[in-house]
Structure 1
Amino acid sequence: MLKLQQIIGLPVYIAHSGAHAGKVRDVWFDEHWMLQGFVLDGWNWKPRTVCTVLWEDVLVCGADCLFIGSKEAIGLRRLSSLQRSFLNGCVRLKDLPVVTAEGKQLGRVSDVYFNPIMGTQVVGYELTDGFLSDLMDGRRWLRAPRDPDVFLLGEDAIVVPPLDESALERVAASDP
């Protein structure tokens, strides 16, 4: 499993030439919060557009870099089409509150885990209760359900069914 924050900042290379295509600046999702692709850094001559790479054009998503098939995999997208993202969209996943259907806040999204080989589905969420709580108790990890209808991934919060504290696992600095 990889964390999204481990991907942000990684270099992107073109597989057949080894040319540097940019660095990952953000990750964007569709309306069902499925991973769609990566936003690359760099200057763009068109206003309100960014360079992107679709997830399906990523050949390798490793711990130290990403490889894409060709320079043609890099496209321009309007910022308005990237509404849901991890860091910078109109609706951003980072710091989104996670609450139960009973009204209890479990924490805020600190990071997102995904399996780069099996597909684009989010595997789990790392939750934070704040800096001091993270230092004293560690962060908690909430496994994403296999049935996407169990969680409501909304614009202002993620709503989950009622959970007891045993459903949340404590994680250290390493992956769960």
Structure 2
Amino acid sequence: MIKVQHLIGQPVIDYTTGKQAGVVKDIWFNEHWVLKGIIVETSRWLSRGITGLLWDAVVACGEDAVLISDRQALRKLNADEVTRCFQTGAVRLKDLPVITQEGFQLGRISDVYFDQNMGTPIVGYELTDGFISDLREGRRWLRISDYPDEVTLGEDAILVPVRAEEDLQHMATSESVN
């Protein structure tokens, strides 16, 4: 599984030339919160607006770089195309509260997991209760792929079934989820 925060800041490399095309700035999602593409920060100082590429132009996401099929896959994006992003945009996934359908807050989104081999739906959330709690107890991980039709991804909160509270898994903050 891939953590979105691990991708942010990685170099974006053109697979055909080996040249760096930019750096991953953010990830953007469609209206169903399925990963749609990558927002790329380019080094062109005259570049204005948002530069990105669709997810199907990504050849591989490695430990140290994101490889794209061709630098030509990069394009200017309209602001209304990238309204749902991980950390920027009108609707941000990072820090959204995750609340059970009975009104109990499980935490806030710290990171998002997806499986590159399963397509691009979100499969899980890393939740935080704050810095002190993270140090004391570690962050928790919620596999939302276990509730495919029971999660409501709203603009101000994510609603999950009540049983999700029982399914939370504790993890150390540096631990990866497999």
Aligned partner of 2:103 in structure 1 is 103
Mapping of residues 17-166 of structure 1, within 5 Å: 17-42=17-42, 43=44, 45=46, 47=48, 49-146=49-146, 148-163=148-163, 165-166=165-166
Question: How much does 1:116 deviate?
Answer: 1.8
Indicate the SS of the match to 2:80. helix
Aligned partner of 2:175 in structure 1 is 174
Aligned alpha-carbon RMSD (Å): 1.5
The TM-score normalised by the length of structure 2 is 0.93
The structure with more helix, counted as a fraction of residues: 2
Question: How much does 1:165 deviate?
Answer: 3.9
Question: How much does 1:145 deviate?
Answer: 2.6
Runs (4+) off by over 6 Å: none
Report how many residues are paired: 175
Looking at structure 2, the residues matched to 14 and 162 of structure 1 have their Cα atoms a distance apart, in angstroms, of 45
Structure 2 residue runs without a partner (length 5+): none
* Residue 118 to residue 44, structure 1, CA distance change in 2 (3 Å): farther
Looking at structure 1, the residues matched to 107 and 147 of structure 2 have their Cα atoms a distance apart, in angstroms, of 22
Indicate the SS of the match to 1:145. helix
The TM-score normalised by the length of structure 1 is 0.94
8 Å Cα contact 2:108/2:127 also seen in 1: yes
Question: How much does 1:168 deviate?
Answer: 0.3
Give % identity: 48
